[in-house]
Structure 1
């Protein structure tokens, strides 16, 4: 079963926005209520044996079962009788809130840390429709002009491209790409961004098809990610780093100073907060767009791509934390893996240790280098190149050596299916070209 998520921008009316904001607040209070019952049940079962607390005790009957997902889902019908706001929310959406809280609880038990927390006002940003009988999006081909451009919202409304949300109604949507043939809409998540001023829908589509994992084939490259250059490949192709946050930091500082001078919770304070949130949203979108462009550019250059398995969360806590977080190397690696899967390329991760201390020409260990040393010069064979290029060549060699041969058997190729955003069918033909 193949599952994909498509994100579209929607333009609800003022009444629809007020209704969706009320739903978000109701879902937040329901989430906190389920978590409160769970914590009360746990606290009532961990009282000390030899003494009682002087402040408070959680006394509950031992016959009360554990408030699991099915139990709280059953209690939801009783809560609706006392809470009139729960009646205004779509029934399956309210049930998904209970499921969302228990998914957080199950994730906490698996990792052993990070107990679920209460959601404060404004910290609940989405609600979910888990089931659709038919495709809720109408006029799928109306989101793209004849010249291939994206129409303006005003022109988009006239073309009649809308999405039907239960109990909310028809909402104009910018469907910049249609749902592929053979896929069915299984769920829709409504998301608010930039302090509830921009709205999106994440459409979950499924298709009853199985795509095998891509096997290593064709031309391979290794990628070394750094700060001096955003990345350097084994072919000595470099990408200049972009300063997404640092270039707009002065503008962000001005907007945040204006917020601090406003009276808290006033209308002018809220307007200033919206400007700050939109600037953060612009920085995030610009960075993600840059990462996707670079990922597609790398897929055009090679058929097998190897990167390091380094944990960037550790290096982002050092003295170069701002530069590391601005580059968002972890997000780039995740997007590169997704683009490689979508375009039929092989993506692999190799061990990151000592990649800058080994000569790619003679495989001799050159010793530890300081960060200020940006040139690689081997004392054994005399090979000279930049430090990042040498590390990228070592990554490529490790990736090729980690490939397990298939004993001369014929490799199974993925089924020829082209998804939206995968350029042209020639890339599928290129994927089938084996060594």
Structure 2
């Protein structure tokens, strides 16, 4: 489980961490270059020469795997002081990060690791700690020192700190830490139980539930698009690479950060309100990336349906609600009352069944179909479900699990508690 905090390093600490990020980026690209060179050298047969590839590496050279490149890293540090200046476990994690991407590529068959250009490597990891690095309102990072932290929630009792990831945002002007904590507890899966609702999302209404609730879609990006356009125009008129150009780019990045945070904050509140209404929630298994490629792509990306579905799934897990997806095909062309199918187009916003006479809003009718499919696919238990007691877990650690469930995890959801608030309103922690 991950806890996210805002940190406030000094200027010297920021300069040091930025230099570490640049060194990690160069190391990542160097390891990837060795990997691609080894693969390119094997594209041509040994006994012939190709116009595009040549066999330029000896057959005795092994594949540059994870352990092989870790051994090379030890040799590189003897001759390159910039690598030695970075914490050893941080550089080892860079190699591991590359080979995790490589293994993912082999598993999926797509998404070959790419070189990181300047500014695209935005985090580094301290993978292990013997004791908690948090000291009062500060966090102690190896070779960096004590850094002020906004500890807006305490680490739950019974959990230990496993690792700390330092994350840079807004072109190195905002810094966060993602603290990974763990405890020897088991969290049972939640079965389908209690009251069930279906949720249908769209551009006319952000969502409509089977109970008749309709929420209008807020336009986070569109409302600030004119301001973003102005800042981008000003940035384009600056000399690229100058101080004024960098300041203008920071303003653009901060506005994007504000839009992202306000959207996530609103979606989290909607997800909690849905969990207040039902015990089992069903949504469609549609691929929203297809919607983002149409003529309404800007509005689909602004609504961020895929992100909302992921957040809703996480909120249901931490609150003990059941979440599942159902088949999306034909949900808007089927009557929720009798099951008869009808031909329609997007201009028809009211559903009236010719077979049984059922009449309702089109989005609400689709949500009812989603609910019916979910109930058929996942039979519910009778009454209110409660997690079984685990006798092997202490009461202190068990209570810590419920405390930890109230926190959103993941690097993509940083600073959610202060969405859209400037630094002067958030305030720095007391030293």
Alignment partner of 1:413 out of 371, 387, 395: 387
Task: Name the counterpart of 2:185.
Answer: 209
Deviations, residues 398-430 of structure 1 (Å, cap 9, x unaligned): 111111467x9997725574224649xxxxxxx
CA RMSD of aligned residues (A): 1.8
Contact preservation (8 Å) 2:8, 2:147:
yes
Aligned structure 1 segments of 4 or more residues deviating by more than 2 angstroms: 48-51, 53-58, 408-417, 419-423
| Superposed counterparts of 1:101-140, under 5 Å | 101-139=98-136
Contact preservation (8 Å) 1:229, 1:241:
yes
- Distance across 2 between alignment mates of 1:229 and 1:181: 42
Alignment partner of 2:237 out of 261, 267, 292: 261
- CA 1:381–1:404: 2 relative to 1, 3 Å: closer
- CA 1:327–1:414: 2 relative to 1, 3 Å: farther
SS in 1 for 2:64: coil
Q: Is residue 354 of structure 2 the alignment partner of residue 379 of structure 1? A: yes
Task: Name the counterpart of 1:291.
Answer: 267
- Distance across 1 between alignment mates of 2:145 and 2:57: 44
Q: Is residue 380 of structure 2 the alignment partner of residue 396 of structure 1? A: no
Task: Name the counterpart of 1:164.
Answer: 140
Deviations, residues 384-408 of structure 1 (Å, cap 9, x unaligned): 11100000111111111111467x9
Contact preservation (8 Å) 1:223, 1:305:
yes
- CA 1:194–1:395: 2 relative to 1, 3 Å: same
Contact preservation (8 Å) 1:214, 1:414:
no
**Contiguous gaps of at least 5 residues in structure 1:** 140-160, 424-435
Contact preservation (8 Å) 2:31, 2:69:
yes
SS in 2 for 1:203: strand
| Superposed counterparts of 1:33-112, under 5 Å | 33-48=30-45, 51-53=48-50, 57-112=54-109
Contact preservation (8 Å) 1:40, 1:58:
no
Q: Greater relative contact order (Cα 8 A, min sep 6): structure 1 or 2?
A: 2
What is the CA distance between 1:114 and its match in structure 2? 2.1
Contact preservation (8 Å) 2:194, 2:380:
no
Deviations, residues 363-388 of structure 1 (Å, cap 9, x unaligned): 11122x11111100111111111100
Q: Which moved more, 1:43-52 or 1:257-266?
A: 43-52
| Superposed counterparts of 1:199-348, under 5 Å | 199-348=175-324
Q: Is residue 172 of structure 2 the alignment partner of residue 188 of structure 1? A: no
- Distance across 2 between alignment mates of 1:306 and 1:393: 10
SS in 1 for 2:23: helix
SS in 1 for 2:283: strand
- Distance across 2 between alignment mates of 1:414 and 1:288: 32
SS in 1 for 2:333: coil
What is the CA distance between 1:201 and its match in structure 2? 0.5
Deviations, residues 277-324 of structure 1 (Å, cap 9, x unaligned): 000000000000011000111111111111111110011101110110
Contact preservation (8 Å) 1:342, 1:419:
no
**Contiguous gaps of at least 5 residues in structure 2:** 390-397, 408-431
TM-score scaled by length of structure 2: 0.89
SS in 2 for 1:239: strand
Q: How many residues align?
A: 397
Contact preservation (8 Å) 1:24, 1:125:
yes
- Distance across 1 between alignment mates of 2:370 and 2:353: 17
